[in-house]
Amino acid sequence: MEDIKEKLSPTMEDYLEIISSICKENKVARIGEIAKKMEVRNPSVNAAMKFLCEKELVHHEKYGFVSLTNKGQKIASEIQDKHDVLYKFLTEILWIDKRIADKDACEMEHAISKHTFTRLIKFFKFLEEGLVCCRPKLLQNFETYLKTGERVKCNCKKQE
């Protein structure tokens, strides 16, 4: 049976993502640290934790630490995965500057569907296994093209 998924807002997704990243570093997250990373004030975090507690996505007791439930961790990972794939696409295929790529990925991770996400992964797999002769050059050539405007000729012969 499927979870009746009430879609989370981008904001709440960001909270989960940030809590997850803090917990990876420090085991647990504190209200103040979440606030700093989210660039909001403590009371906003409190309100969000109340909401996420009710949805059973985080654990939080008064004056205590915050941590993710299994359900919360699962969602956080999904968003992080979307972020990573988008970041990879932006930096390794479009050759976007890392700063901008990270910012764009942060926005787009909330917009991209699961379908497109898995398709992007397949696209990477396809490119990695690639065509026999020219494949590895294609994306490198794009980088050269961006820098110089020059197009590198494929170094193989047409067969017929």
Partner DNA sequence: TATAAATGTTAGTAAAGCCTAACATTTATA
Partner DNA sequence: TATAAATGTTAGGCTTTACTAACATTTATA
Nearest to 71 by CA among 120, 20, 25, 27: 20
Contact pick of 24, 26, 47, 84 for DNA (by CB under 7 A): 47
Residues with Cβ within 8 Å of residue 36, at least 6 apart in sequence: none
Should residue 63 be labelled a site residue for DNA when binding is judged by CB under 7 A? yes
Shortest Å distance, C-beta 12 to DNA: 5
Should residue 37 be labelled a site residue for DNA when binding is judged by CB under 7 A? no
Should residue 42 be labelled a site residue for DNA when binding is judged by CB under 7 A? yes
**CB 105: neighbour CB atoms within 10 A?**
21
Distance CA 18, CA 153 (A): 45
Half-sphere exposure of 108 (CA within 13 A, CB side): 19
Shortest Å distance, C-beta 78 to DNA: 17
Residue 11 or 140: the one with the smaller Cβ distance to DNA is 11
Q: Considering CB distances under 5 to 8 angstroms, the limit depending on partner class, which of a second copy, DNA, none binds residue 135?
A: a second copy
Should residue 140 be labelled a site residue for DNA when binding is judged by CB under 7 A? no
Residue 56 or 126: the one with the smaller Cβ distance to a second copy is 126
Alpha-carbon distances, residue 126 vs 5, 41, 88, 114, 129 (angstroms): 31, 45, 14, 18, 5
Region binding DNA by CB under 7 A among candidate stretches 61-69, 100-108, 130-138, 148-156: 61-69
